[in-house]
Amino acid sequence: MQLTGKIALVTGAGAGLGRAVALRYALEGAQVVAVSLMASELEEVRATAERQGLAITTAPCDVSDAAAVDAVARRVLDRFGRLDILVNNAAIIFVKPIEETSVEEWDRLLATNLRGPFLFCRAFVPAMKARRGGVIINVSSQSGVKGFIGEAAYCPSKFGLEGLTFTLALELAPWDIRVIATHPGIGMRTPMSMTTYDEEARKTWQDPAVIAPGFVYMAAEGNGALSGHRYNAYELAQRAEHGEDI
């Protein structure tokens, strides 16, 4: 119960990694706000949490919509008075050559993958500053540090997210707000990977739940995840689960 009493918000929490992190945070004692564009997915998460006796509330939201994000932030702060943990996980991908990538696809992907985290950080940082604490975890990718064929939009979005992470780590340090980048570290079975993994890659993918303990480590007070660093979530999860020093 490393997150008892904490208030956490996870975007892209209707499925995949976001769902696994939201449920694990609740299992660790946090009050969790699960955000997703898909109301049907959120209903499944809510029902799962209810069966397990976990404290999860849901908030349908287009993370690229500034007014919608601000409305979610007001709802969270009005109800809980603060936010301790923000996980910017929502993302989409298109894999195609640049000449086949439409301007509309580029705009939509950057709006979700980079504008969304910017909007949620902007919405909650003032409350974190007021309390002089908090942690922001931005879910990046290997595509945030190297290029991949067919990812002319996705890679720039993740490179940008890494830049946002390290900039905010410096900017928010005086208020003891940690800002961390993380990448999954392994192949996962998610709605995104269902569209991008071939049959060979699918042989080794794992349930996102195995990565979730790494997110607990990054979020928990007293653990060693440092602001302005980039972490392999699967490696953290494996070491934490085996009681190893990190």
CATH code for the structural domain at 7-241? 3.40.50.720
- Long-range Cβ contacts of 238-246 (<8 Å, 24+ apart): 240/213, 240/214, 240/216, 241/213, 246/217
> Where residue 225 falls among pLDDT bands split at 50, 70, 90?
confident
pTM of this structure: 0.92
Q: Cα separation of 35 and 112, whole Å? A: 13
pLDDT digits (tens, 9 = 90+) for 174-214: 999 999 999 997 766 666 655 555 566 555 667 889 999 99
Contacts of 42 (CB under 8 A, 6+ apart): 13, 14, 34, 36, 58, 59, 60
pLDDT digits (tens, 9 = 90+) for 139-187: 998 888 888 899 999 999 999 999 999 999 999 999 999 999 999 977 6
Q: Which of 25, 154, 217, 231 is labelled catalytic?
A: 154
Q: Which two tokens stand for residue 159?
A: 């490179």
Q: What pLDDT is recorded for position 65?
A: 98
Calculate the average pLDDT of the chain: 91
234 is catalytic: no
Share of the chain above pLDDT 90, in %: 80
How do 85-88 and 230-232 pair as beta strands?
Answer: unpaired
